[in-house]
Structure 1
Amino acid sequence: MPAPASPMVLGLEDRVLTFAVSLLVGGLALHVAARVVADARDYGHAVVTALLGALAWALLESIPLLGGLLAIVAWVAVVKWRYRVGWIGSSATGIAAWAAAVVVLAALELVGIGSVSALGVPGA
């Protein structure tokens, strides 16, 4: 019987699974928020939006001094573009998505699944 892997060393399969679950959680949070703010109904659309938002965040966040600000503006712009709402609506969607992600992640933690995040939702 092979020895269990160290928690610090995840295999490729574990990383892919964590990425997929994190993306689905982020998509769920965006879906819930977009239903409330933009009356959107498509979960798949929310998952793609989460992925695009995560990419925008990853590309800009590491820029010195202004990276965080540029990343959040880009993320809100992605939501604005994907849901065809204004800046206020997309900002409200972001706040609601963050709140939904916190709730989902807390529920997952309660059932023993704490190694995921909400990919595509800043701060969650």
Structure 2
Amino acid sequence: MIMRVASISEEQFSKCKKYKLWGSERPTIMKWTEGELILFKTKDRIMGLAEVIGKPFEDNLLIWEGGLYPYRVPIVIIKEYNSFIGDKLYQDFKDIMIKEYGSYYGWVILNKHPLKESIVNMISKYNT
């Protein structure tokens, strides 16, 4: 199972839910496939988990504040975390990212690189 991480604001997460879309400034998401997962995080909380449910596409309709994000994938939110769980998951996520990637963990998030299986397994424990 491929899982990636996207850093967003709470307002952007709300728009993702409303429009069932996630967008990026980078065309690398054009290679993503149905069934891949996206873990949405803010600067201090995990907001939710989404599944890609369609093919990536380009669109110039402005949806999110802060950027056009023309490269898009259709998604469905499969898990939304309350603040208590989201805060706890964020700390566990940060700890395991540092353990697995060291000081390069930010690169993994920034480049939407697929997460290691150990991290996906840890996150999956929060979804039962």
Asked which structure has the greater RCO (Cα within 8 Å, sep 6+), the reply is 1
After TM superposition, the score normalised by the length of structure 1 is 0.30
After TM superposition, the score normalised by the length of structure 2 is 0.29
Give the greater-gyration-radius structure (CA).
1
More helix by share: 1
